[in-house]
Amino acid sequence: MDLPLEQLARRHEGSGTGGVAQLFNQLQYLALRLCNKVVVLGDCMCSLLQKQGLRNVEVLGPWADDPKRIGECTSTEARLEEGLPEKFTVGYYGYAGEWHDFDPILEAIPELTVRSNVQFLFAGLGPGIDRVIVAQKQNSWKNVIIKGWVPRGELGLLPLCSDLHLVSLKKSMLGTCVPSKTYGAMAYGRPVIFIGPKECQAGKDLVDAQAGEVVETGLDLVKAISRFFNNPDYLGKCSRNAQKVFLEEHSAEALFKKWDEFFQNLGTKPSG
DSSP 250: I
pLDDT for the residue 152: 79
Question: ∠101-106-111 over CA atoms, to 5°?
Answer: 135
Phi, psi of 38 (to 5 degrees): -120, 120
The domains of the chain are located at 4-61+253-265, 75-250
- What does CATH list as the number for 75-250? 3.40.50.2000
Close Cβ partners of 254 (under 8 Å, ≥ 6 residues apart): 63, 247, 248
pLDDT for the residue 21: 83
Report the C-alpha gap between 124 and 168 in whole angstroms: 14
Query: How many of the other CB atoms lie within 10 Å of CB of 166?
Result: 29
Report the C-alpha gap between 202 and 165 in whole angstroms: 13
One pLDDT digit (tens) per residue for the chain, 272 residues: 689 899 988 988 877 676 888 899 899 999 999 998 999 999 999 999 999 999 999 999 998 887 765 557 899 999 999 999 999 999 999 999 999 999 999 999 999 988 779 999 999 999 999 999 999 999 999 899 999 888 877 888 999 999 999 999 999 999 999 999 999 999 999 999 999 999 999 999 999 999 999 999 999 999 999 999 999 999 999 999 999 999 999 999 999 999 999 999 886 654 44
pTM (predicted TM-score): 0.92
Report the C-alpha gap between 116 and 186 in whole angstroms: 27
Report whether 163 contacts 236 (CB < 8 A). Answer: no
State the DSSP string of 125-178. ESHHHHHHHHHHHHHT-SSEEE-----GGG-TTGGGG-SEEEEE--GGGTTT--
Report whether 185 contacts 246 (CB < 8 A). Answer: no
| DSSP H or E run through 257 | helix 252-265
In 3D space, the residue among 110, 94, 121, 84 whose CA is nearest the CA of residue 221 turns out to be: 110
pLDDT for the residue 90: 98
In 3D space, the residue among 167, 178, 119 whose CA is nearest the CA of residue 147 turns out to be: 119
E-assigned strand segments in the chain: 38-40, 57-59, 88-95, 118-125, 144-146, 164-168, 192-195, 212-215
